[in-house]
Amino acid sequence: MGGQRLTALLFLAFLFHSPSSAMPGKKTKHHHPCKSLVLYFHDIIYNGKNSKNATAAIVGAPAWANKTILAGQNHFGDLVIFDDPITLDNNLHSKPVGRAQGFYLYDKKEIFTAWLGFSFVLNSTDHKGTINFAGADPLMNKTRDISVIGGTGDFFMTRGIATVMTDAFEGEVYFRLRVDINLYECW
Amino acid sequence: MGGQRLTALLFLAFLFHSPSSAMPGKKTKHHHPCKSLVLYFHDIIYNGKNSKNATAAIVGAPAWANKTILAGQNHFGDLVIFDDPITLDNNLHSKPVGRAQGFYLYDKKEIFTAWLGFSFVLNSTDHKGTINFAGADPLMNKTRDISVIGGTGDFFMTRGIATVMTDAFEGEVYFRLRVDINLYECW
Amino acid sequence: MGGQRLTALLFLAFLFHSPSSAMPGKKTKHHHPCKSLVLYFHDIIYNGKNSKNATAAIVGAPAWANKTILAGQNHFGDLVIFDDPITLDNNLHSKPVGRAQGFYLYDKKEIFTAWLGFSFVLNSTDHKGTINFAGADPLMNKTRDISVIGGTGDFFMTRGIATVMTDAFEGEVYFRLRVDINLYECW
């Protein structure tokens, strides 16, 4: 009898001390994403001359600036809306697997820094659904982490971290971001 | 003795294989919301003449547009701030149960598509608290899923999916959205 | 034998009824944050004369307003981008521990109400990482709750509630917010 009770107690102890047992409000750190993706997106900002190719446009600007050229002081105060193609590799002309849609804003005078709110709207054979992002993007850092705040479809209710890298930057018209998405909550 | 151990093992197996057992970082898909609501909200956009009734206004626009009429090219680049009444049915004149507050922006040239960041601020006998939303809204689809990214009060820490439907669309001044909110995380 | 089975059943019952057992999609309410912080941030809005000191600027405004003075009707339609110093106490001149970066927008004509999307970018000996926020801010209430929608670094994957209080408000140029951050999901 004592043996069985001990066995049950050990099971119980195992359950409560196991790193995989969940207690809401006291989650343990996990370093293994449940899903990972690497994608690129390409932003061509409207500059007054490229309306055909532009995928983004300045729609808000501070009092001292206008909407056909990024503002001085590291573009502080510029708000840009975009609809950028997403590709699997770093080639602007590769077949898009979806669109990156939303906005970014430049929010620091002394250095390039942005804030992002956008979605990946994916529609390929591999992925159908959206991933929603928000967070600060200190552009001068080689890699920057923003939050995956939710998702739909294949990414239903997901959460995670997206590591953003500037993969190319040409003049003040084109840039390409590489996004390493690591999802730690998958449903 | 073997019988009791077997029983305990079966219990254990049940615990770990049950669809309701939680392992953080490896959540299983659940299709049963813990809370559901259906609400409507009503958006009347300022057009230069309706300042009394307007609940929304264009506050950002691309270089080629202005702020009293939605821009060409499917309103690409227009940013709208709103404070819209929320009702339980599809009648604009029903007693509001709260306000939908935040912004939407049109982000595609070829087709109507928007991105939303807003809150439901509810203050009725049934619900007191806020629900926060973010996500892409491809308006031409009959239903669109966005993320519930958090909440306060009665909706403390909640997460879920909101399915948005355009319930009415009159000229370029009034639209009504039906929002089916399904919450999958309730605290 | 009956005794051991009973014991096991009681253990099982305990497991499933314990307030700390987790069932995704049916989380129980927890009132004990896993991490708490109190921080202040300071916003000095550009008014056409203070470009040196300003930490914020109006970048979007409705048709009836401009970008060097906050709009009438409780600033409805003004969109402000900011990069504000964060301090541990309520002194603007204390050594900053990070920057609050993002945007707020005024979204109601009848009363002061805002909507916030921003990050705390912390870089001190105590905290390295970002906390991302979103939500409605009904400014006339003494305290307002917004959502912590994610984080990075020391705040990896966190969620919680931030209670915002207006700690000072001077003319239409300077305000200081006290933010009590309570995190209920820590990884």
User: What pLDDT sits at residue A53?
Assistant: 95
User: What pLDDT sits at residue A171?
Assistant: 83
Query: In terms of DSSP H, where are the helices of chain B?
Result: 2-17
User: What pLDDT sits at residue C171?
Assistant: 83
C26 pLDDT above the threshold of 90: no
**How many domains does the structure of chain B reveal?**
1
Q: How many CA atoms lie within 13 A of A7 on its CB side?
A: 19
Residue A88 inside a domain? The answer is: yes
Burial class (CB within 10 angstroms; exposed 0-12, middle 13-18, buried 19+) of B19 = exposed
CB contact under 8 A, B103 and C113: no
- A36 within 8 A of A182, measured Cβ to Cβ: yes
Give ipTM to 2 decimals.
0.84
Q: Which pLDDT band holds residue A8 (cuts at 50, 70, 90)?
A: low
Pick from B59, B68, B150: CB nearest C135: B150
CA A76 from chain center: how many Å? 21
- C169 within 8 A of C175, measured Cβ to Cβ: yes
A-chain residues within 8 Å CB-CB of C105?
Answer: none
Q: Which of A70-79, B16-25, B80-89 has the lowest mean pLDDT?
A: B16-25
Q: Per-residue pLDDT averaged across A85-112, rounded?
A: 97
Considering chain A, what percentage of its residues have pLDDT values greater than 90?
82
Residue A149, domain extent: 40-185
Q: Per-residue pLDDT averaged across C21-30, rounded?
A: 40
C119 pLDDT above the threshold of 80: yes
Residue C2 inside a domain? The answer is: no
CB contact under 8 A, C136 and B130: yes
Report the residue count for chain B.
187
Q: Which residues of A164-176 are buried (b: 16+ CB within 10 A; e: fewer)?
A: bebeeeeeebbbb
Here the CATH number for the domain that contains residue C157 is 2.40.480.10
List Cβ neighbours of A175 (8 Å cut-off, separation of 6 or more).
A42, A43, A166, A168, A169
User: What pLDDT sits at residue A172?
Assistant: 85
User: What pLDDT sits at residue C30?
Assistant: 55
B31 pLDDT above the threshold of 90: no
Mean pLDDT of chain C: 88
User: What pLDDT sits at residue C172?
Assistant: 85
- B105 within 8 A of B115, measured Cβ to Cβ: yes
Q: Per-residue pLDDT averaged across C112-119, rounded?
A: 97
Residue B17 inside a domain? The answer is: no
Q: What count of other Cβ atoms lies within 10 Å of the Cβ of residue A14?
A: 11
Q: Per-residue pLDDT averaged across C28-52, rounded?
A: 89
* Distance in angstroms (rounded) separating the CA atoms of residues C147 and B150: 6
Which is higher by pLDDT, C127 or A1?
C127
CB contact under 8 A, C115 and B130: no
Helix A2-17 / helix C2-17 crossing angle, nearest 10 deg: 20
Pick from B63, B76, B107: CB nearest A67: B63
B-chain residues within 8 Å CB-CB of A78?
Answer: none
Min Cα separation C126/chain A (Å): 19
Q: Which pLDDT band holds residue B30 (cuts at 50, 70, 90)?
A: low
A-chain residues within 8 Å CB-CB of C134?
Answer: 134, 149
* Distance in angstroms (rounded) separating the CA atoms of residues B143 and B178: 10
Q: Per-residue pLDDT averaged across C19-27, rounded?
A: 37
Q: Which pLDDT band holds residue A5 (cuts at 50, 70, 90)?
A: low
B-chain residues within 8 Å CB-CB of C61?
Answer: 59
* Distance in angstroms (rounded) separating the CA atoms of residues A113 and A93: 28
pTM given for the model: 0.86
* Distance in angstroms (rounded) separating the CA atoms of residues B156 and B185: 10
* Distance in angstroms (rounded) separating the CA atoms of residues A186 and C87: 36
User: What pLDDT sits at residue B171?
Assistant: 83
CA B11 from chain center: how many Å? 40
* Distance in angstroms (rounded) separating the CA atoms of residues A106 and A113: 6
Residue C7 inside a domain? The answer is: no
Min Cα separation A34/chain C (Å): 14
CA C176 from chain center: how many Å? 13
Q: What count of other Cβ atoms lies within 10 Å of the Cβ of residue C124?
A: 12
Pick from A28, A67, A117: CB nearest B24: A28
Q: Which pLDDT band holds residue C6 (cuts at 50, 70, 90)?
A: low
A9 pLDDT above the threshold of 80: no
3-state secondary structure of A47: coil
Residue B120 inside a domain? The answer is: yes
Mean pLDDT of chain B: 88
Residue C112 inside a domain? The answer is: yes
pLDDT in tens, C62-113: 999 999 999 999 999 999 999 999 999 999 999 999 999 999 999 999 999 9
Q: Which pLDDT band holds residue B15 (cuts at 50, 70, 90)?
A: very low
A1 pLDDT above the threshold of 50: no
B23 pLDDT above the threshold of 50: no
* Distance in angstroms (rounded) separating the CA atoms of residues A118 and A88: 18
* Distance in angstroms (rounded) separating the CA atoms of residues A59 and A66: 9
3-state secondary structure of A36: strand
**Chain A neighbours, 3+ Cβ pairs < 8 A:** B, C
Considering chain A, what percentage of its residues have pLDDT values greater than 70?
84
For tokens 């307007």, what's the residue?
A: B54
Which is higher by pLDDT, B93 or C6?
B93
pLDDT in tens, A103-124: 999 999 999 999 999 999 999 9
Q: What count of other Cβ atoms lies within 10 Å of the Cβ of residue A48?
A: 12
C167 pLDDT above the threshold of 60: yes
- A81 within 8 A of B79, measured Cβ to Cβ: yes
Q: Per-residue pLDDT averaged across A50-78, rounded?
A: 95
C-chain residues within 8 Å CB-CB of B68?
Answer: 63
User: What pLDDT sits at residue B6?
Assistant: 52
List Cβ neighbours of A3 (8 Å cut-off, separation of 6 or more).
B1
CB contact under 8 A, A62 and C58: yes
* Distance in angstroms (rounded) separating the CA atoms of residues B59 and C126: 39
Min Cα separation C82/chain B (Å): 17
A82 pLDDT above the threshold of 60: yes
- A43 within 8 A of A54, measured Cβ to Cβ: no
A162 pLDDT above the threshold of 50: yes
* Distance in angstroms (rounded) separating the CA atoms of residues A150 and B159: 9
Amino acid at A162: A
C-chain residues within 8 Å CB-CB of B105?
Answer: none
